Chain A
Amino acid sequence: MSTERSILDLADFQPAAANGLLDRRAFCKGGAALAAAMTGYTLSSRAGAQQLTDDPWTRTPGASLKAYGTPSRFEARVTRSLSNPNGEPRTQHGRTPHHLINGTFTPNGLHFVISHTGNPDIDPSQHRLVIHGLVERPLVFTLDDLMRYPMVSRMTFIECGGNSAPLWSPEPVEAGVQAIHGLISCAEWTGVMLSTLLEETGIDPRAKWFIAEGADASKLDRSVPLGKALDDAMIVLYQNGERIMPGNGYPLRLLLPGWEGNMNIKWLRRIELTEEPALSFYEARTYTPILPSGKAYNFYFLQEVKSFITHPSPGLALNGAGFYEVSGLAYSANGRISKVIVSADGGNTWAEAALQEPVLSKAFTRFRLPWRWDGGPAVLQSRAWDEAGNVQPTRSELVARRGEARRVPSVLGFPSQHYNGPTSWRVGADGEVQHVYA
């Protein structure tokens, strides 16, 4: 830590809030010197500087290429966490390790997956998409057909309606960002606008909804207002440039940018235009949060504005006082993120974070803020705003409206859905990070 301080003139950096948060423009001013002085988040203690020698891999030719690349063997722990690794007859969840990756999109092998009846092994040459119901001409499309249509690409997050559910617990659960917020990811999706296909089928004026249904063992189906189909719904074929992963809906899925993950039907095989919603199991029973009054919300649709800090977070210990970058993710179904603020003292004082460009609508926005940790107690939090003027509620505001669970749930449990309040991480004097309420 003395090394960092020796090459930086800390007086150059203006405090932006209490407990060491610095102005978001400090990195621009500090440039390479500051970048070099950044203290990393690691699991092992940092070795001191010593005389440099040539390492063995500099003195022998390296390995041959693989036809399909995989990460370094030293990154083997960067994996999804699995709720049901043996495939017992119940839902399987794979959660994204947001604390071990950075940037704004999620690699395909780490994209979160929820499969209610496992991943089907679909032969794309046999797959069909049928559009029928209240249309002028029911049509069926093969994959070869769809591949010839005009395509668009967009970055979009997909979030399970139950993501962050452990935060409904009356006491903070002992868990990190992967367990709490691992059911959201962001990717570049490429495919055909649903509106393009509906131009060809025609739309009966009586149609108000469409039912989308998968080809998995669940035949999972959800009802979607027709307006979303004409706005930005897509039939997607590619995920981050390669064909969609099996767990994300291979060979094609519905994408409803910003809307509840479960509605983005995977393995899509059927779209039916209708006058009324189906009240399918998942829309009638699962994604229907109970309110303190005993009534329940249905048709929740939107994943509202939210943010959480990924670095630091539990599992990423701080190696001594000094400079760190606080960073995390913000997103909203209602457009672009307009502002993120960060606190290092449990919400008493706040500093505005820098937003990584480009800031895209309904996609992850990475926020960053330099922080000089003095080695004392700190509680980190973030709050986000979107361009529609929505603000991420405080936890107490949210609990006042929505209530909280009666007892501490399993970290894999879903006591309710659609939590979008803040997350608080306490940094101890030993550098360990813990989930708290603040």
Chain B
Amino acid sequence: MSMHKLIRTAIVSALLLNAYAAYAQSPQLGKPISEADIVAWDITVFPSGANLPAGSGTAAQGAPIYAEKCALCHGVNAEGGLAAGLVGGEPLTNGIDTRKTIANFWASATTLFDFTRRQMPWQQPRTLSDDEVYALTAYMLALNGIVDDDEIMNAETLPRVQMPNRDGFMPRFPELMP
């Protein structure tokens, strides 16, 4: 081995040792946790349907839950009030300030399930059962004519719902997309 190669090997070894030393010196204070212990926080649902919980519901089941827990803010007929309306919507080509609705804008029905389960009702988030969230999601989709009143929403059917505006989006900076 030439002196040049020896020196280079020595430098590389030193760098590796330093890197190892730096890693060993990092605090390592995180405690291991199992996915089973994260379940209560692990609520993000994906457009593929990944992480949707067990349970199911229909629009017919959702109507009385809506009347009891949602109508005060969103209106008796989901026409809106203190909070956004949940039904209808004009074409997006009408203007850049068009009100975005479930019918004219939302790309995935899983977003509707996730947001309802995550943040609603506004005063008491995380108090709805997963069956109630499926039923309310079915109710909102049925109000907009996207599913039928008796269609069962569950982890299998919800990701397959064809939202009207699902192809209406493009990333602003494609080069930043993974």
Interface residues of A (CB under 8 A from B): 88-90, 116-117, 130-132, 137-141, 145-146, 148-150, 168, 196-197, 199-201, 208-209, 211, 213, 217-219, 221, 225-227, 269-270, 272, 274, 276-281, 284-285, 288-302, 402-407, 409, 415-416, 418
Contact = CB atoms under 8 A, between A and B. Distances in A.
A397 B43 CA distance: 42
A416 B48 contact: no
Contact of A218 (B44, B108, B119): B119
Contacts of A294: 91-93, 168
Given A131-B30, A139-B30, A141-B29, A295 B170 contact: yes
B75 interface: no
A301 B176 contact: yes
The 10 closest A-B pairs by CB, nearest first: A139-B30, A208-B178, A294-B93, A415-B97, A145-B29, A294-B92, A281-B115, A405-B97, A299-B171, A297-B172
B46 interface: yes
B119 A415 contact: no
B68 interface: no
The secondary-structure label for the interface of chain B is: loop
Contact of A141 (B30, B92, B93, B168): B30
A404 B96 CA distance: 6
Nearest to B165: A296
A269 B41 contact: yes
Interface of B: 23, 26-35, 38, 41-48, 50, 73, 82-83, 91-98, 100, 105-108, 110-111, 114-115, 118-119, 122-123, 125-126, 168-173, 176-178
A139 B34 CA distance: 8
Nearest to B107: A284
A281 B173 contact: no
B21 to A, nearest CB: 14
Nearest to B101: A285
Contacts of A199: 23, 26
Most chain B C-beta atoms within 10 Å of own C-beta, residue among A276, A280, A415: A280
A209 B178 contact: yes
A41 to B, nearest CB: 34
A380 to B, nearest CB: 27
A295 B168 contact: yes
Contacts of B48: 276
Contact of B111 (A225, A280, A418): A280
Given A137-B32, A226-B178, A295-B170, A416 B97 contact: yes
B29 A278 contact: no
Given A131-B30, A132-B35, A219-B118, A272 B42 contact: yes
Contacts of B26: 149-150, 196, 199-200
Contact of A291 (B31, B96, B111): B96
A348 B43 CA distance: 55
Contacts of A291: 96
Contacts of B114: 278, 280-281
B172 A416 contact: no
A291 to B, nearest CB: 7
A292 to B, nearest CB: 7
8 contacts: A88-B82, A90-B83, A141-B30, A200-B28, A227-B176, A278-B44, A284-B108, A409-B97
Nearest to B23: A199
A138 B100 contact: no
Contacts of B98: 290
B178 A290 contact: no
A149 B108 contact: no
Contacts of A201: 30
Given A145-B27, A285-B106, A294-B93, A138 B171 contact: no
B170 to A, nearest CB: 6
A196 B48 CA distance: 30
Contacts of A116: 119
B44 A211 contact: yes
Contact of B33 (A138, A218, A219): A138
B172 A301 contact: yes
Contacts of A299: 171-173, 176-177
A180 B53 CA distance: 42
Nearest to A288: B169
